Amino acid sequence: MVILKTEEEIKKLREIGLIAANILKEAVDLIKVGVRAKDIDNMLGVLADKNKVKNAFKGYKGYPANVCISVNDEVVHGIPTEDKIFKKGDIVSLDYGVEKDGYYTDLAVTVIVDDGSDEDKKLVCVTREALYKGIEKAVVGNRLFDISYAIQRHVESNGFSVVRAFVGHGIGRNLHEEPQLPNFGSPGCGIKLKEGMVLAIEPMVNAGSYDIIIKNDGWTAVTADGKKSAHFEHCVAITKKGPIILTALEGFNA
Ligand code: MF3
Ligand code: CO
């Protein structure tokens, strides 16, 4: 069942989305050559306390950290370990969620450490653009897979592939709610989009093939061909006035 949100709840979700985006920006600003992913994870513990929110991923289905940090061929759910040390040119995606007053938010960004190759920059840009192409379709009266198709089309027309094994999702009083939102699909198909739906839209884009493998830690998804991957995510409310991006922060991910 898709749970629709009231205007009041959407306001609340925007407040929380903004807090989460501010926190994530602070963490992303710390990413430099030689910094360890574990340092970023620790900092997110401190920042969550300071902002009086809970880190939503910690303990979720046993997930062991505050944030997912996925580097290069890691697609999603990378664990921020001590030995994950950033190098120049690394593609680093951070996926972060918080809970406050029983409501959840979820967002992801990908950055390149110091400076990267043109191909890697293109992968990151196209993934970010694909997210916004999807958001544009999050409009009352459209169908769910209009979002999926817009993302897929942008990614594939740029020569990259859309990961199949993970999807976007509804969000609200739970981190994951219905509907599931694939990043590929046929336009005109899927459920009708209604006022009050809140969706986490999150394209995961591989430079090579879309196949992934889960590593032995039970979490980290890596590309099967070892090529790089990028990920962006926003929570978006569908309203009469059009899509509202709940996790956007001017100068960071907006
Ligand atoms: N943004 C990720 C998702 O929607 C969050 C994963 S939560 C984790 O799948 F804790 F399981 F990592
Ligand atoms: Co998500």
CATH number at residue 94: 3.90.230.10
In a domain, 251, yes or no: no
* DSSP labels, the chain: -PPP--HHHHHHHHHHHHHHHHHHHHHHHT--TT-BHHHHHHHHHHHHHHTT-EESSTTGGG--SSEEEEETTEEE-----TT-B--TT-EEEEEEEEEETTEEEEEEEEEESS---HHHHHHHHHHHHHHHHHHHT--TTSBHHHHHHHHHHHHHHTT-EE-SS--EEE-SSSSSEEEEE-S---TT-SSBP-TT-EEEE--EEESS-S-EEE-TTSS-EEETT---EEE-BEEEEEETTEEEETT--TTTT-
Supply the Cα-derived Rg of the chain in whole angstroms: 17
Taking the C-alpha atoms of residue 250 and residue 254, their distance in angstroms, rounded to an integer, is 5
Locate the ligand 1 atom nearest the alpha carbon of residue 166 and give its number: 9
In a domain, 22, yes or no: yes
Q: Give the pLDDT score at 137.
A: 98
Q: Give the pLDDT score at 116.
A: 96
In a domain, 127, yes or no: yes
Cβ atoms of 57 and 233 closer than 8 Å: no
Residue with tokens 């360890």: 36
Residue 200 backbone dihedrals phi, psi, to 5 degrees: -90, 110
Question: Which of 58, 66, 77 is the best mutation target for the ligand 1 pocket, counting ligand atoms within 8 Å of the beta carbon and taking the most?
Answer: 77
In a domain, 40, yes or no: yes
In a domain, 3, yes or no: no
In a domain, 153, yes or no: yes
Domain total of the chain: 1
Taking the C-alpha atoms of residue 82 and residue 36, their distance in angstroms, rounded to an integer, is 6
**Alpha carbon nearest to ligand 1 atom 10, residue:** 57
Q: Give the pLDDT score at 94.
A: 98
- Name which of 93, 81, 57 is nearest 217 in CA terms: 81
Q: Give the pLDDT score at 129.
A: 98
- pLDDT tens, N- to C-terminus, the chain (254 residues): 999 999 999 999 999 999 999 999 999 999 999 999 999 999 999 999 999 999 999 999 999 999 999 999 999 999 999 999 999 999 999 999 999 999 999 999 999 999 999 999 999 999 999 999 999 999 999 999 999 999 999 999 999 999 999 999 999 999 999 999 999 999 999 999 999 999 999 999 999 999 999 999 999 999 999 999 999 999 999 999 999 999 999 999 98
Q: Could you tell me the distance, in angstroms and rounded to a whole number, from the CA of residue 234 to the centre of ligand 1? A: 13
Residues in contact with ligand 1 by the CB-under-6-Å rule are: 57, 60-61, 63, 68, 77, 95, 97, 106, 169, 200
Q: Give the pLDDT score at 236.
A: 98
Q: Which domain holds residue 98?
A: 10-245
Q: Give the pLDDT score at 1.
A: 94
In a domain, 252, yes or no: no
